[in-house]
Amino acid sequence: MLGIENDEVLEDLEELTERIFAPETLGGFRQLIHMIASVRSISSHSADSIMKDLHFPKYIFDALHNYGFEVDDKSINKEYYRNSYHKGWCSEYPFYVVLLKSHEYQFTIKSCELLAAFIKHYYSVLDTLRDKELARESSTREEDACANFRLFMKTNVAEFNSVREAIPKTPLDTPMSIANQLDKYLNDQEHWPYLAHKNYLRMLSHFFSNDWKSPKHISRKRLPFERVPKRYAEPIAVPIVGAHDDIFTLIPNESLIPNSEGLDEDDQYVTQHVIYTRARS
């Protein structure tokens, strides 16, 4: 009815899935439809902005939103409707996880505008986010930005709620303006009940200002010798049958032949016990 050929539809779908870095299984793709619908019910301007930046054709959204999705393969159906991510997706598909977990976000007019601003800015600084020289030992800057934004949007704490109701000031705020607003909010708060919450905002400020710095790897100096006195466990000893009460045999913690430089395996010598006596008072 739209006058669009199948090949055109497939091209549009392929462009969309590549744009959002979706896995081949399209696991959780239904959550993207829910996100657009949720944002549109609050802010049509933000929804339009998000769809434009994701290269999401309206006719595909309308079809997937208004109609059900079902194929003969039940495993594909299950993947399409999943609302959680697979192990490893946070590092392999960090941006897609931001979209997939949107059903957990605290959506308001302002937070919808911030989500739209995050998505738009993400594509403009993607090369920087994936720069290996800026990456930490455990994560890339893309992972850092996406993980912090995802947790910021879902966490329901007083500090975050206040920020989501104040930033950005307008839907047309530039990324640098948003970064300055975050910095101002951080500097105005003298005491934060939980430091990690403050670090989330600081990470988002770096994202919007795109001023990542190479991490400093601090090598810890070790002392040339151990200053802490060593403690030794009490020896394990058992009484010898028929011997005096003060004579025991020791059971070593390690094998008497610790390596191949000792006796050969075919030596038939009887193992010698270590005997010691306890001093009498």
- The reported pLDDT for the residue numbered 185 is 86
28: left (phi over 0), alpha (psi -120 to 50) or beta: left
Task: Indicate the residue type of 177.
Answer: S
Q: What is the pLDDT of residues 21-46, one digit of tens each?
A: 999 989 999 999 999 999 999 999 99
CA 161 to chain centre: 22
> Stretch 113-141: mean pLDDT, rounded?
95
- Report residue 279's pLDDT band, with 50, 70 and 90 as the boundaries: low
Separation between Cα atoms, residue 228 and residue 26, nearest integer Å = 56
> Stretch 47-62: mean pLDDT, rounded?
96
Q: What token pair was written down for 276? A: 């010691």
Q: φ and ψ at 276, to 5 degrees?
A: -145, 160
Higher pLDDT, 136 or 72: 136
Separation between Cα atoms, residue 46 and residue 40, nearest integer Å = 7
Q: What is the pLDDT of residues 211-260, one digit of tens each?
A: 998 876 544 455 554 555 555 556 666 666 666 666 766 665 555 444 44
Could you tell me the pTM of the whole model?
0.74
Whether residue 99 is predicted with pLDDT greater than 80 in this model: the reply is yes
Task: Indicate the residue type of 93.
Answer: Y
Separation between Cα atoms, residue 213 and residue 57, nearest integer Å = 37
Q: φ and ψ at 115, to 5 degrees?
A: -60, -45
Q: Decide: helix, strand or coil at residue 237.
A: strand
Separation between Cα atoms, residue 214 and residue 199, nearest integer Å = 17
> Stretch 190-205: mean pLDDT, rounded?
79
